[in-house]
Amino acid sequence: MDINPKSILFRDLREGVANVMSRYGPEYWRKLDEVSAYPEAFVKEMMEYGYLAALIPEAYGGSGLGIAEASVILEEINHLGGNAGVCHAQMYIMGTLLRHGSEDQKRRYLPDIAKGKLRFQAFGVTEPDAGSDTLSIKTFARKAGKGYIVNGQKIWTSRVAHSDLMLLIARTTPKEEARKRTEGLSAFLVDLRASIGKGVTIQPIPTMMNHHSAQVFLEDLVIPEENRLGEEGRGFSYLLDGLNAERILIAAECIGDAYWFLEKASAYASSREVFGRPIGQNQGVQFPIARGYASTRAADLMRYEAAALFDKGEPCGPEANMAKLLAADASFEAGNVAIQTFGGFGFAKEYDIERKFRETRLYQVAPISTNLILAYLGQHVLGMPRSY
């Protein structure tokens, strides 16, 4: 029984991802999780099939699809027991290169990314003293001749050890000298192949889930001027431009997780017998699963609404943020209910529930925390006073 009525949308795409996922079953993800290893083979195959180049226009060798299709690709990875967090950034950071890169930069990088030869998976914004408050970053790119010399530190830069390129946000004007609060940051493409050991040092951060995050130390890193994206000082607005895509894509991953949890929980509740009858016959077990389902369906509607607006080129900030908020809540709720339904087995690694629960928990905090989304809605949509 298919509990997701929207699975009739983009069926070919879903079947294609399912075909790849058939070679990367739960054991694959479980084993990687145990040893904190990166799913090299899976990501390579996804790139070779062109799935991670969904948003690259056909003129640069990609498939030129919309955000709705891209989101379905990530949703299906999570729905089939995997973790799209290992490769999702390529889809949403690409937008900065597409929208603000020069023609020369696009020709230099996009065709090879589309062919699967080049990985663009890392995004360096957060710093130890600046997470939610991006404008307080201190990493500084000082103009020197025909380039920049960068010093500073990033934290939580995910997949940086598994990427060829990193999108780096750094200050080019000190905060106190910027004309406007939101000016003075710039966006750069860092070629990690040439920079690791030459200005870039990576130190992995072990975490509760297999996410390949790291601290990145930048010490006299030389970035040629031709690797700056767009205008100097406008990096923050470029960052904001990409956020709606990021929110919609992560929402879809959470929806995929939620359906995975709900399928597992309802099947187990129907088959596990305690006191001589299926546990799902007890409403105390059944209703929380049904409620999780209702939350997931509602969040999914918001995700498709946000994606439709995005693909029409219309403003979708509130919808994209609400989709992320509702979907992250729904997957957390569904994961929690799945653990409860499985009883002790919910904690056993072989069922994968605890792994997926750890993975989906992240989306309450990153890439933007639930509180910051609520603040955005409260302040920018409902017009209430600013808290920051």
Ligand X SMILES: Cc1cc2nc3c(=O)[nH]c(=O)nc-3n(C[C@H](O)[C@H](O)[C@H](O)COP(=O)(O)OP(=O)(O)OC[C@H]3O[C@@H](n4cnc5c(N)ncnc54)[C@H](O)[C@@H]3O)c2cc1C
Alpha-carbon torsion (14, 20, 25, 27), positive or negative: negative
Choose one: 3-11, 122-130, 216-224, 309-317; the region binding ligand X (CB under 6 A): 122-130
- The partner residues of 166 in beta bridges, in order of sequence, read 122, 190
Q: Least distance to ligand X from the beta carbon of 387, Å?
A: 5
Q: What is the footprint of ligand X within residues 177-216 (CB under 6 A)?
A: 207, 211, 213
Nearer to ligand X, 202 or 365 (CB): 365
Enter the tokens of residue 88: 């999702």
Nearer to ligand X, 85 or 292 (CB): 85
Enter the tokens of residue 11: 């069926």
Nearer to ligand X, 86 or 125 (CB): 125
**Distance (Å, whole) CA 348 – CA 329:** 23
Q: Least distance to ligand X from the beta carbon of 74, Å?
A: 15
**Distance (Å, whole) CA 247 – CA 302:** 11
Nearer to ligand X, 96 or 157 (CB): 157
Enter the tokens of residue 318: 């509130």
Choose one: 40-48, 111-119, 220-228, 361-369; the region binding ligand X (CB under 6 A): 361-369
Choose one: 10-18, 125-133, 227-235, 278-286; the region binding ligand X (CB under 6 A): 125-133
DSSP secondary structure of 321-380: HHHHHHHHHHHHHHHHHHHHHHGGGGG-GGG-HHHHHHHHHGGGTSSS-HHHHHHHIIII
Q: Least distance to ligand X from the beta carbon of 6, Å?
A: 28
Nearer to ligand X, 7 or 207 (CB): 207
Backbone angles phi, psi at 285, to 5 degrees: -95, -40
Taking residues 143 to 162 in sequence order and writing x for each that binds ligand X by CB under 6 A, - otherwise, the string is -------------xxx----
Nearer to ligand X, 63 or 364 (CB): 364
Q: Which residue is nearest to ligand X (CB)?
A: 131
Interface residue with ligand X, options 362, 363, 373, 376 (CB under 6 A): 362
By the rule CB under 6 A, 125 interacts with ligand X: yes
Cβ-proximal residues to 6 (8 Å cutoff; 6+ apart), any chain:
300, 304
**Distance (Å, whole) CA 384 – CA 371:** 15
Interface residue with ligand X, options 39, 81, 147, 367 (CB under 6 A): 367
By the rule CB under 6 A, 126 interacts with ligand X: yes
**Distance (Å, whole) CA 197 – CA 193:** 9
Interface residue with ligand X, options 237, 372, 377, 379 (CB under 6 A): 372
Cβ-proximal residues to 170 (8 Å cutoff; 6+ apart), any chain:
137, 139, 140, 141, 148, 150, 152, 185, 186, 188, 235
Give contact residues for ligand X (rule: CB under 6 A).
123-126, 131-132, 156-158, 207, 211, 213, 362, 365-369, 371-372, 375, 387-388
